[in-house]
Structure 1
Amino acid sequence: MSLSAASRPELDDTLAIRRRTLTLGLLTLTYFFSYMDRQILAILVELIKADLKLSDTQMGMLGGLAFALFYAILGIPVARLADRANRRNIIAVSLALWSVMTALCGLAQNFVQLLLARIGVGVGEAGSSPPSHSIIADLYPVEKRASAMAIYSLGVVLGGGFGTMIGGWLASQYGWRVAIIAIGVPGILLAVLVRLFVVEPKRGLSDAARVADSSRMPSIWSAFADMWRNAAARHLVLAVTLTSMIGYATSYWGPSYLQRSLGFSVGQVALIVAPIAAIIGTVSGVGGGRVADWAAKRWGIHAQSWMVGLLKCAALPFTILFFTTDVPAVAITAYVFNMLFANSYLGPTFAMLQGLAPLRTRAMWAAITLLVINLVGLGLGPTMIGVLSDALTPLVGKEESLRWALVVAVSATPWAIFHYWRAGVMLKRQQEMAA
């Protein structure tokens, strides 16, 4: 073997580390587009309902089950591929696919056509998060991983916030179809940038104490079993699934709630509420990641899970106030504090899971987590609220049915807090046994 050939892996490793900030930025931007394309219907619910003559149940399916079923299930084989093949290329192809399908949503003339386009978005987005989690875990050591994952998770708040701002403004000026098409098309250009500038890192690059297993790849069911046997991982998945179910339900139906129950216009939601969500969500996400890294360094990794649970406890009263008040100013104030405390869970949760996962199945563990999160959280969250809202309409009226459906959803928060607490207990036990 020549000297140049022997040194090639070291050069690739050096380049991967040197470009890791750029890689994290591009992956975060990809997640931004993923969430923006996924959630764009939220600000457009009332306009699409009126144009295509749809019910809350149908809109809930479009925002939830129709997308989540394919997104979650296909994430498993894609993650299997990502644990074997080039993750950067998988992300780039997936991004191009879902961007095209998002644009096609704007051409739909009826429920079935919109349903099929949304399924296409779900199919494309299945190839984004699992390989991204795996790449980030390889580029950042454990003491910096929660902060890196928190930055990546900004795609949620920024994608949702800017999707609402841009989509709401465009819809108020040019209609909902132009808004969706304009949101979808730029992702195609981003896919080219991902392919050109993201460097595929060596697996386990930043885990000096761990060596990637070169033996045969474990089966999918073996990865499921390993994850389920790990008590800390099991509680973390349950906690983040319940939290995501509440989050998807409230973020998808939140703009409609503001319009129906508090009298906001589409433009007001886009230009007042969405910027607040983007700013406060960013502060919460980045700040939560840094606090989580500090807590882990100070007390151990289990402190990250307890930190998330405590912040959820602090956020709950503001969440309930937001959905029960009739005063717009009070609602917005409560929304700010809810976002500040409640929005820091994703980065620490995924960082803890990636730290627990075997190196050879990191993408698979991420996909299993996302499978559960999205089938239960994204699939049932918005869909359940739509069905419940239609069911409550005869009792409380069309204007108030959505409000009380959302109150039912947020009442599940203590259940999620319990699992974050138990995950912390299990993580502490594992640390003490390893010491």
Structure 2
Amino acid sequence: MASAAPATNTGESYGTPGYRAYVLGSLTLIYTLNFVDRILISVVGRPIIEEFNLSNFQFGILTGIGFVLFYTSLGIPIARLSERVSRVRIIGVCVILWSIATILCGFAVGFVTLLLARLAVGVGEAGCTPPANSLISDYFTAATRPMALGIYAMGVMLGGVLAQLGGGAILNLFTWREAFIYIGAPGVLIGIILLMTVKEPPRGYSDPPQAKPAEKATLREAMGQVSRSKTFWYIALGMSLATFGGYGLTSFKSLYIQYTFGLTPGDAAIQYMAPISLSGAIGAPLAGYLIQRFSPRFNLAAVWVPAVGFLLSAPLLALGFLAESLPVMFAAFLLAGVFQYFYIGASYSVVQTVVDQRTRATAIAILLFIINLIGYGGGPPILGALADSISVMRLEALGLGSELTAACSPNDANLSAALQENCLDAKAYGIRWACVVGSAVFLLAGLIYFWASRYYMAEKML
């Protein structure tokens, strides 16, 4: 739809209440699809690995840097573009693009073609959140925006759970290829409907009439302010480590459950990974409550609460990967999921208080670039490479180094029953100990957050 007139600053919400609810629901649905299509590959990972004879390192590339490369690098340019052209068009086109790319994943014939499709998914998904946040800010007044943005943010939780439930259900009936096709196809229709039914509001429509744009800081000023903040860089480092461990473990947790306890990919997704994903949604609001509760007594609560969350989640995650009992593993992962995500909202809040209002957006953009590229991009392939190395050592210790590799398939009909069993044992062993190492990363993240608290009060501007 064509862009509307310039900003009018009416101080009123745009459109009727019913229409605003429709727009917000549409954007939340699209954000949910964003995460469903992003996470789906981890749900259907095992049959892909076995069909293409992939190593854990290669699978880590597909779940990590293969998606993040363009998703991260295009985020800021698309955000800038959304300030000048129709945000509805950007979102609609990008939904259609990443949905088609998701469908194409189902037609991949090997590692390279699947990697190219994943890169295309990242290109499309880069055009979702920046323009969507901007749209919501023009549809809703300042007083109602927090609730609207909170509803939109539910897409993260809903996407993670639906990817597990939907992908797992399809795997129990069809193959991994149909999972990509059936889950990707609705996005094309939803993108078209968005383009046809959602209006582009005037920019600044819901801002108060007296509101004036804040004086813009130059890029040099913004970078200078960020570079001088020790709090910012320690938080960025801690978040990068948490993202490194979080996405790395997420990529291999389902595989570990399947290899160790004999579950099918579909059952592992529905019975275990979906509830574990849901537990993570409890952590962020719980952390917000704790910070609000303790801040009057402890000035550093905003930094200490996520630090404590990291220190609690690390041993619980390690316990989950070392547990010999499925119920113990499940309970440990559920509880770890709550503490693991204490840091998300708190960290963004801390970063925005150590820079002035003119540079907050730039500071968050820099933060996201760092943690996505290092954490999301690096975590899965590095943990995958470590798992491969440990699996090889296991095979060599068993005297099977010349017969099996880290990319062996436990279902390979060309292997004897004994070799299939040894292959499964080595893969489970490699992922277990690589993920135990990945769990320890949260301990380091917690210590770094405590170190950041030494500078927070001196640099705090609010």
Range into which the TM-score falls when normalised by the shorter chain:
0.7 to 0.9
Match of 1:341 in 2: 339
Q: Which letter maps to 1:172?
A: N
CA distance, structure 2, for counterparts of residue 418 and residue 261 of structure 1: 32
Q: Which letter maps to 1:213?
A: A
Is the contact between residue 320 and residue 328 of structure 2 (CA under 8 Å) also seen in structure 1?
Answer: yes
> Deviation per CA, 1:261-304, whole angstroms, max 9, x where unpaired?
232221221221133124323333444445445556x4698533
CA distance, structure 1, for counterparts of residue 438 and residue 310 of structure 2: 15
Measure how far apart 1:328 and its partner are.
Answer: 0.7
Secondary structure of 1:213 counterpart: coil
Match of 2:457 in 1: 428
Match of 1:320 in 2: 318
Q: Which letter maps to 2:305?
A: M
Q: Which letter maps to 2:263?
A: F
- Report which of the two structures shows the higher radius of gyration computed on alpha carbons: 2
In structure 2, relative to structure 1, the CA distance for the partners of 1:276 and 1:206 (3 Å cut) is farther
Residues 254-403 of structure 1 aligned to structure 2 (within 5 Å): 254-292=253-291, 298=296, 303-353=301-351, 364-396=362-394, 397-403=426-432
In structure 2, relative to structure 1, the CA distance for the partners of 1:357 and 1:202 (3 Å cut) is farther
CA distance, structure 1, for counterparts of residue 106 and residue 6 of structure 2: 52
In structure 2, relative to structure 1, the CA distance for the partners of 1:76 and 1:6 (3 Å cut) is closer
> Deviation per CA, 1:294-349, whole angstroms, max 9, x where unpaired?
556x4698533322222222222211101111211100011111112222432333
Which stretch shifts more, 121-130 or 81-90? 81-90
Match of 2:49 in 1: 49
* Percent of aligned pairs sharing the same letter: 31
In structure 2, relative to structure 1, the CA distance for the partners of 1:309 and 1:65 (3 Å cut) is same
Is the contact between residue 153 and residue 346 of structure 1 (CA under 8 Å) also seen in structure 2?
Answer: no
Match of 1:235 in 2: 234
Is the contact between residue 130 and residue 364 of structure 1 (CA under 8 Å) also seen in structure 2?
Answer: no
Residue 416 (structure 1) aligned with residue 445 (structure 2): yes
CA distance, structure 1, for counterparts of residue 354 and residue 149 of structure 2: 15
CA distance, structure 1, for counterparts of residue 186 and residue 428 of structure 2: 36
Which stretch shifts more, 76-85 or 386-395? 76-85
Is the contact between residue 164 and residue 273 of structure 2 (CA under 8 Å) also seen in structure 1?
Answer: yes
In structure 2, relative to structure 1, the CA distance for the partners of 1:154 and 1:348 (3 Å cut) is farther
Which stretch shifts more, 198-207 or 123-132? 198-207
Measure how far apart 1:77 and its partner are.
Answer: 1.5
Match of 1:158 in 2: 158
Residues 61-140 of structure 1 aligned to structure 2 (within 5 Å): 61-132=61-132
Secondary structure of 2:59 counterpart: helix
In structure 2, relative to structure 1, the CA distance for the partners of 1:87 and 1:186 (3 Å cut) is same
CA distance, structure 2, for counterparts of residue 102 and residue 88 of structure 1: 21
Secondary structure of 2:14 counterpart: helix
Match of 2:214 in 1: 213
CA distance, structure 2, for counterparts of residue 357 and residue 194 of structure 1: 36
CA distance, structure 1, for counterparts of residue 141 and residue 248 of structure 2: 32
Structure 2: any 5+ residue segments left out of the alignment?
395-425
Q: Which letter maps to 1:99?
A: S
Secondary structure of 1:350 counterpart: helix
Is the contact between residue 309 and residue 446 of structure 2 (CA under 8 Å) also seen in structure 1?
Answer: no
Is the contact between residue 28 and residue 155 of structure 2 (CA under 8 Å) also seen in structure 1?
Answer: yes
Is the contact between residue 104 and residue 117 of structure 1 (CA under 8 Å) also seen in structure 2?
Answer: yes
Match of 2:248 in 1: 249
Secondary structure of 1:15 counterpart: coil
Is the contact between residue 94 and residue 127 of structure 1 (CA under 8 Å) also seen in structure 2?
Answer: yes
CA distance, structure 1, for counterparts of residue 377 and residue 238 of structure 2: 16
In structure 2, relative to structure 1, the CA distance for the partners of 1:417 and 1:162 (3 Å cut) is same
In structure 2, relative to structure 1, the CA distance for the partners of 1:422 and 1:23 (3 Å cut) is farther
CA distance, structure 1, for counterparts of residue 20 and residue 170 of structure 2: 35
Which stretch shifts more, 328-337 or 232-241? 232-241
Structure 1: any 5+ residue segments left out of the alignment?
none
Which stretch shifts more, 63-72 or 135-144? 135-144
> Deviation per CA, 1:11-50, whole angstroms, max 9, x where unpaired?
6x42289687766654443332222111111121110112
Which stretch shifts more, 230-239 or 261-270? 230-239
CA distance, structure 1, for counterparts of residue 86 and residue 356 of structure 2: 18
Measure how far apart 1:119 and its partner are.
Answer: 0.6
In structure 2, relative to structure 1, the CA distance for the partners of 1:21 and 1:228 (3 Å cut) is farther
> Deviation per CA, 1:131-158, whole angstroms, max 9, x where unpaired?
445666786869985x876655443333
CA RMSD after TM alignment:
3.6
Secondary structure of 2:331 counterpart: helix
> Deviation per CA, 1:175-220, whole angstroms, max 9, x where unpaired?
00000111212223443565544765856977999852355x734x
TM (norm. structure 1) is 0.84
Secondary structure of 2:324 counterpart: coil
TM (norm. structure 2) is 0.79
Is the contact between residue 101 and residue 121 of structure 2 (CA under 8 Å) also seen in structure 1?
Answer: yes
CA distance, structure 1, for counterparts of residue 375 and residue 200 of structure 2: 32
Measure how far apart 1:401 and its partner are.
Answer: 0.4
